[in-house]
Amino acid sequence: MRYDIVIIGAGPAGLTAAIYARRAGKSVLVLEKDSFGGQITFSPKLENYPGFESVSGNELAQRMLEQALGLGADVEMDTVTGLENGPVKTVIGEMARYEGRAVIIAAGARHRRLGLPREEEFIGNGLSFCAVCDGAFYQDGHAAVIGGGNTALQEIVLLSETCRKVTVVQNLAFLTGEQKMVDLVLSRPNVEILYSTVCVGYLGEAALTGLRLQNTLSGAETELAVDGAFLAIGTEPENLAYAALAPLNEAGYIKADESCTTPTPGIFAAGDCRTKAWRQVATAVADGAAAALNACRYLDR
Q: Give yes or no for residue 45 having a pLDDT over 80.
A: no
The residues annotated with a catalytic role in the active site are 130, 133-134
Q: Quote the mean pLDDT of the chain.
A: 94
Work out the percent of the chain whose per-residue pLDDT is above 90.
84
CATH fit for domain 119-231, picks 3.60.20.30, 3.50.50.60, 3.80.30.20, 3.40.630.10: 3.50.50.60
Residues of the chain with CATH 3.50.50.60: 2-111+235-299, 119-231
Q: What is the dihedral of CA 56, 60, 63, 66, to 10 degrees?
A: -110
What phi and psi values does residue 23 have, to the nearest 5 degrees? -65, -20
Picking from 202-206, 231-235, 243-247, which range would have the lowest pLDDT averaged per residue? 231-235
Residue 38: predicted pLDDT: 86
pLDDT digits (tens, 9 = 90+) for 83-116: 999 999 999 999 999 999 999 999 998 888 999 9
Q: Give yes or no for residue 1 having a pLDDT over 90.
A: no
Average pLDDT, stretch 238-262? 94
Band the pLDDT of 48: cuts 50, 70, 90: confident
Give this prediction's pTM: 0.78
Residue 124: predicted pLDDT: 84
What phi and psi values does residue 230 have, to the nearest 5 degrees? -125, 125
User: Beta-carbon neighbour count of residue 184 at 10 Å?
Assistant: 17
Average pLDDT, stretch 214-232? 97
User: Residue 38: what residue type?
Assistant: G
Class of domain 2-111+235-299: alpha beta
